[in-house]
Chains A and B, each alone.
Chain A
């Protein structure tokens, strides 16, 4: 069984005003098959954690480690991490001019598997996954995320999750900007991926509404660059009622 461990992680970014500390000692262990929800106020560092796991060059790891089955992820390039089984569904997926969804998916799948997927079954897989996410066939020939609505971009992220079959996926606010119908469709996609591959999930969200469809095993409250409290699904309900106020030390607000 695979395990992703984040140990005492400290991360900073360079800003115009100098180095800014964002993560201040994050500890988190996710086993394959588990769903962890991370909830926290704006600016608390949730996306930073997600990007650091994926290896975005902007984020500088000061100390701590990330291990995938004991192997040091921080030493790997971004693409090597993906090939090792990590996936990040981004909060703001970028547009890639000139690259169609079809071409992109095939290239990514080939890179991750180390060989091109068998054409027939691949085409079928893509078509089924798109149908499951209620994505029109026309998307296949459009450039990646170019002119996609917010909701369509999120579906496209989950499409990749389903097809690339990672061991661990971080979903960064995949629920925001989705209406109820789209939220259900996207959640079903995530649940399908989990049922098919038994992946581990780190679900970053502001709201509990996605947790009605994707049921977390653990809920972590993320405040000021670290996990302030953890518990089971009931913690999410409590946060919904009470907000984050009791976690916020006044001097750290903002």
Chain B
């Protein structure tokens, strides 16, 4: 069996709310998750070995909102989300007009509005649920960020005044062959937004996309990022969700060219009443492609809620691939819930590595006592633990200024929730 290397590390304590992996191929499942391993829970609901009727790539797709039934909350993509709180985005009519952006500038990066007829639209992926299709149906123009030039460069595109009416939006980020850049999408202010972001990497492009959610407390943001990665190209994709009431950013990445490579990072901090969700999907659709997924989250406060779903599909033409995904959650208080659901489907026997890990650990009173008994104050103890936990992801972003700012933002999260 070549599907190998289950590098599951254990959670420090219990896994209070962690959900269990659902695997399409039970034999692959067994090779990847040794039963009863500490920190990894096997199916406790008696469905172990249940084979979904449908492989992940076969999900229904359409750009027409009318092609999707009314959302009930029973759908795989919605069942963890508070759907009643954003019916305007799934069923209402959305404002698809242009909105205000602010952007830093760099040579070889253009930021412009392009019409719906732009040839790139629809090339990276298509909606698999109603809110995404709703947004797709209404946008007037797409915001297009086009990168050329082999030198490294960085730009930040900021949206801060989307307002409180329900919107649909579309963004294209294209990295031309051999180009290189870091694109930071920064989101602040109010929003009720459903959007699709297409990320297209030409041959040997090297692109970093950071989506930063620091919305106001009441904001609702549903995003689908679709990436298509060409031959030998590399995408680093980072989702940072700190602010907002409901934030759902779901990246789907298709490793489309041989030798393509992706690193998907996520960082989230849910405080009281916040719902932060990410459904990550990596489709190995070419030989020798490689993926790494690492999402880390902290939860603190009553009804702080996070969802992570990590689907990896290794297609039958994807020989010699190497993939690993993990999600770790750190629970800082009572009353929170973290769901963590890795799924792995393997359609080829020729694999270099495929593994996953998921764990939810508590920061508990005994840890606090231990640190305090060494002279560390309670506040400092929490900071130490959370910082230590999340730093691994922050440090991989590769933008020193942003990394420094995020460290501060994380500390602010800790303090912010202490006040509640």
Is there a chain A Cβ closer than 8 Å to B107's Cβ?
A: no
Cβ-neighbour of B388 out of A82, A100, A111, A164 (below 8 A): A100
Give the distance to chain B from A233, nearest Cβ to Cβ, in Å.
29
Q: Which residue of A lies closest to B9 (CB)?
A: A147
Is there a chain A Cβ closer than 8 Å to B385's Cβ?
A: yes
Is there a chain B Cβ closer than 8 Å to A107's Cβ?
A: yes
Which of A78, A87, A164 has its CB near the most chain B CB atoms (within 10 A)?
A: A78
Give the distance to chain B from A3, nearest Cβ to Cβ, in Å.
21
Give the distance to chain A from B388, nearest Cβ to Cβ, in Å.
4
CA distance A250 to B88 in the complex (A): 73
Is there a chain B Cβ closer than 8 Å to A70's Cβ?
A: no
Q: Which residues of A contact B361 (CB under 8 A)?
A: 97
Cβ-neighbour of A94 out of B11, B367, B378, B387 (below 8 A): B367
* Interface contact A96-B370, CB-CB below 8 Å: yes
Q: Which residues of A contact B376 (CB under 8 A)?
A: 79, 107-108, 111
* Interface contact B370-A90, CB-CB below 8 Å: yes
Give the distance to chain A from B296, nearest Cβ to Cβ, in Å.
9
Give the distance to chain B from A81, nearest Cβ to Cβ, in Å.
8
Q: Which residues of A contact B373 (CB under 8 A)?
A: 54-55, 78-79, 81-82, 87-88, 90
Give the distance to chain A from B290, nearest Cβ to Cβ, in Å.
25
Q: Which of A137-163 contact B (CB under 8 A)?
A: 143, 146-147, 160
**A side interface size, CB within 8 A:** 32
Which of B330, B370, B390 has its CB near the most chain A CB atoms (within 10 A)?
A: B370
Cβ-neighbour of B384 out of A55, A81, A104, A147 (below 8 A): A104
* Interface contact A56-B369, CB-CB below 8 Å: yes
Cβ-neighbour of B385 out of A54, A93, A99, A108 (below 8 A): A99
Provide the A95-111 mask, 1 if CB < 8 A to any CB of B, else 0.
11111100110011001
Is there a chain B Cβ closer than 8 Å to A77's Cβ?
A: yes
Q: Which residue of B lies closest to A114 (CB)?
A: B375
* Interface contact B374-A99, CB-CB below 8 Å: no
* Interface contact A164-B374, CB-CB below 8 Å: yes
Q: Which residues of A contact B166 (CB under 8 A)?
A: none
Is there a chain A Cβ closer than 8 Å to B113's Cβ?
A: no
Q: Which residues of B contact A108 (CB under 8 A)?
A: 371, 374-376
A57-B365, A94-B367 known; A82-B374 Cβ under 8 A: yes
Is there a chain A Cβ closer than 8 Å to B377's Cβ?
A: yes
Q: Which residues of B contact A54 (CB under 8 A)?
A: 369, 373
Q: Can you give 19 A-B contacts (C-beta < 8 A)?
A: A57-B369, A79-B374, A79-B376, A82-B373, A82-B374, A94-B366, A96-B12, A96-B370, A96-B385, A97-B12, A97-B363, A97-B389, A98-B389, A98-B391, A99-B385, A108-B374, A108-B376, A143-B388, A160-B374
Residues of B within 8 A of A (CB): 10-12, 330, 361, 363, 365-367, 369-378, 380, 384-391
